[in-house]
Structure 1
Amino acid sequence: MKTPCLRCGQGVSAFELLFLCEPHLKMTKMERKVSLLVRHWVFVDEVKFFGPGRLELLEKIQETGSIVQAAKAMGMSYKKAWAMVDHMNTHGQQPYVITHKGGQQGGGTELTETAKKVIEAYKNLNTRLSEIVAAEKQLLSLI
């Protein structure tokens, strides 16, 4: 039984899983974009400590001056954001985030120098890893 090619309507065997005729199947393989993505985390005592999500959270806190606003911007609950901040403050060598109580001036949140240095170092590592990944041709050519 023949099934029409999804692109040109030419009959193809029903067992062709992609339902494409031979020329369109070859074209599809040539059009494919194969890429390599690397994500990385820092672990402390075998527990995820710092990675892309916490980097984004710290950057949002720096932008907004607020854990609440940072959480909202990320579509995250305040409880989860606070738990992440508390974990970084508790398990890091130094605190990452300092909160200020409300009052006439209102409260606020700021990053410590330690947090700023960690952000910079993490981004630098990201850049170096991206360069290595971009240079990887052997693996990608085999897939």
Structure 2
Amino acid sequence: MAEEIVVSVEQTSDAKVLMISVAARMAGMHPQTLRQYDRMGLVQPGRAAGGGRRYSARDVALLREVQRLSQDDGVNLAGIKRIIDLEQLVDQLREQAAELQAELAAAYQRIAELEAVGPYPRRDLVPTSRQSTALVVWRPRR
């Protein structure tokens, strides 16, 4: 009797601890398929000290998505690779946008704090309305 292994996508881990046979069984694929996907760059398993592939639960979820796109949606492997790359790029850009939004919010907060102090927060910088009558002599170097 075959043992069924269930992985929750919400609880996926990045720890590369699953041997190829276990990851293949969890993904419902043949181990040779996982090797092919590794060569194509669809999934990047870690490596054990002896060189064996090690997969994470997140890798297994990705393998299931590859299988779904291939079988259910009819996307070829080159298209799946492009989709995966674009999704990773979108994730990176979202993280970067969130960081920039946090920095912008902090900058606006700092501006508000400085404006709350008064129009001239530094006492040594006092605006003056009188114009200078000083004469500045400038001679070009020869």
TM-score (norm 2): 0.29
Which structure has the larger Rg over C-alpha atoms?
Answer: 2
Greater relative contact order structure (CA < 8 Å, 6+ sep): 2
TM-score (norm 1): 0.29
Q: Which has the higher strand share?
A: 1
